[in-house]
Copies of this chain bind each other. A is one copy, B any other.
């Protein structure tokens, strides 16, 4: 239920504006589940319609094509998942007034993304799977990256590099490392082994420590 509303909220905001009708909500819900389970190309609109409890035609009343349905689902995720690496309230706080410690920033970031992933695992799975095959998605994510993620990240990094806290690698390199660590964790946690026994708190801390200090045993 809560998930349901969250999903809607997520998809709605960015959405084709307008109100989302109940039927449309059912369609989105069903599409997300089915796309996540079998992949976009292997999902059929008839199956989606069946699961959503609507007629096949109804889907096409709201989304001109199957692909448009995918885009409607995936685009908001891209923005919501990527941008807030620094965006919204949290981001701005961080930027205007960077925390004393780079580590603290990472912690915020990671916890934040963790919660998001927890509630939106299927959406993220769809995004990861489909981005490889749809140029529109690639273009959009590149845009988001270049306009949102990179510049903001760079500003912060400059701060901490000058600060002598963070090593002087190119921004893209650092982003790649941080993102790899975070995404690697989230993918393992929510997609590969969601049913394992996880001590999330601990894993989060260890991941932060890894990003900061690597695997080396701290000198005593």
Contact = CB atoms under 8 A, between A and B. Distances in A.
Interface in A170-201: 173-174, 176-181, 183-185, 188, 191
B206 A216 contact: no
Interface string A18-42: 0000000000000000000011011
Contacts of A173: 203, 206
Interface in A107-130: 125, 129
A188 B176 contact: yes
Copies in the complex: 4
A215 interface: yes
Nearest to A39: B133
A120 to B, nearest CB: 16
A203 B177 CA distance: 11
Given A183-B184, A184-B180, A167 B39 contact: no
Given A41-B39, A41-B41, A169-B206, A215 B129 contact: no
A165 B165 CA distance: 23
A84 B217 CA distance: 26
A89 to B, nearest CB: 25
A1 interface: no
Contact of A167 (B165, B184, B188, B215): B215
B181 A177 contact: yes
Contacts of A133: 38-39, 42
A150 B161 CA distance: 37
A213 B165 CA distance: 13
A203 B166 CA distance: 17
Contacts of A214: 209-214
Closest 9 CB pairs of A and B: A180-B184, A41-B41, A214-B214, A213-B214, A41-B42, A212-B214, A167-B217, A180-B180, A177-B210
Given A180-B184, A180-B185, 20 more contacts: A39-B133, A42-B133, A129-B129, A129-B132, A161-B217, A164-B217, A166-B215, A167-B216, A167-B218, A168-B217, A169-B206, A169-B215, A173-B203, A174-B215, A177-B210, A180-B181, A180-B183, A212-B216, A213-B214, A213-B216
